[in-house]
Amino acid sequence: MKYYHNSRCRKSREGLALLEEKGLSPEVVEYMKEPLSPNELMDLLDKLDMAAIDLVRKKESVWKEEFQDKELDEEEIVLAMIEYPQLMERPILEHGQKAAIGRPSENLLEILD
């Protein structure tokens, strides 16, 4: 079980606290410090069952300034999230072949067996 965490994000901290309250200790991946590889992000998108554009935080200034007005394909969006990890929606819990975005935090519990 992996938890993709941004310690500066309140929702991410809340999600981790919820998991810990349930007695769970996921491997914490601080993707802001060590961005995912393109393959890791594509695998995560498969587990989330979503397109890359749906994982993008479109209100982030870097998205608005650098990408909003461009026609980007799936690979280009993935590469944008690798280069600017703050664009990735958070938090995300990966468990087995499933993953969930913790907005709201309770969504994280839906993928647990």
Q: Is the pTM of this model over 0.75?
A: yes
Residue 113 scores a pLDDT above 80: no
Active site residue 96: no
CB 43 within 8 A of CB 53: no
Residue that has been written with the tokens 């200790």 in this structure: 25
Walk me through the domains of the chain, giving residue ranges and CATH numbers.
2-111 (3.40.30.10)
Find the catalytic residue in 2, 9, 13, 14. Answer: 9
Q: Give the pLDDT band of residue 31 (cuts 50, 70, 90).
A: very high
Question: Virtual CA dihedral for 84, 89, 91, 93, nearest 10 degrees?
Answer: -100
pLDDT of residue 8: 94
Q: What are phi and psi of 104, to 5 degrees?
A: -75, 170
In this prediction, residue 58 has a pLDDT band, given cuts at 50, 70 and 90, of very high
